[in-house]
Amino acid sequence: IDLIDPAILHRFGNHILVALPDEGERREILRIYLERVVFDTPQDFNEALDRIAGQTEGFSGAELKLLCQHANLSALRNFNFENTTSVTLGHFQEALARVKAAMKPLDEHRNETLR
């Protein structure tokens, strides 16, 4: 917000700064977006949630949604009728290579503006 011209900000009235989700919140957001995604076992699902939430610091909810969409598309590319493919951690690793966090965590951003 500190990079936007104050005259433009003034036209928008009140400003509410929303912090990026922490790891637990990211896990819950991912759980919601992955409710209908097929994993081999419930353990795979829980492991995926834990690992992805840990690897996505600085991601917003919208970026997490995009990450899930990319992983689903990656799984679809590998789909065939003889040997069905579920979403795996590998699909999420491919998605993480494509989707990057647009914003830095709030604490990092504050530290940079203070320099």
- 79 residue type, one letter: F
Q: Looking at the predicted structure, is the pLDDT value of residue 12 above 80?
A: yes
User: In the predicted model, what is the mean pLDDT of residues 50-79?
Assistant: 90
- Write down the pTM of the prediction: 0.73
pLDDT in tens, 19-64: 899 999 999 999 999 888 877 777 778 888 999 999 999 999 999 9
> How many angstroms from the chain centroid is the CA of residue 35?
15
CA dist., res. 49 & res. 68, Å (int):
11
* pLDDT greater at residue 115 or residue 25: 25
Q: Identify which of 68, 66, 54, 45 has the alpha carbon closest to the alpha carbon of residue 26.
A: 54
**Percent of the chain residues topping a pLDDT of 70:** 83
* Average pLDDT of the residues in 93-110: 74
- Judged against a pLDDT cut of 80, whether residue 115 lies above it is answered with no
The mean pLDDT of 93-115, rounded to a whole number, is 67
Q: Give 15's Cβ-side CA count (13 Å radius).
A: 11
If we measure between CA atoms, which residue out of 85, 28, 17 comes closest to residue 56?
28
Mean pLDDT of the region 72-89? 74
What pLDDT was estimated at residue 66? 94
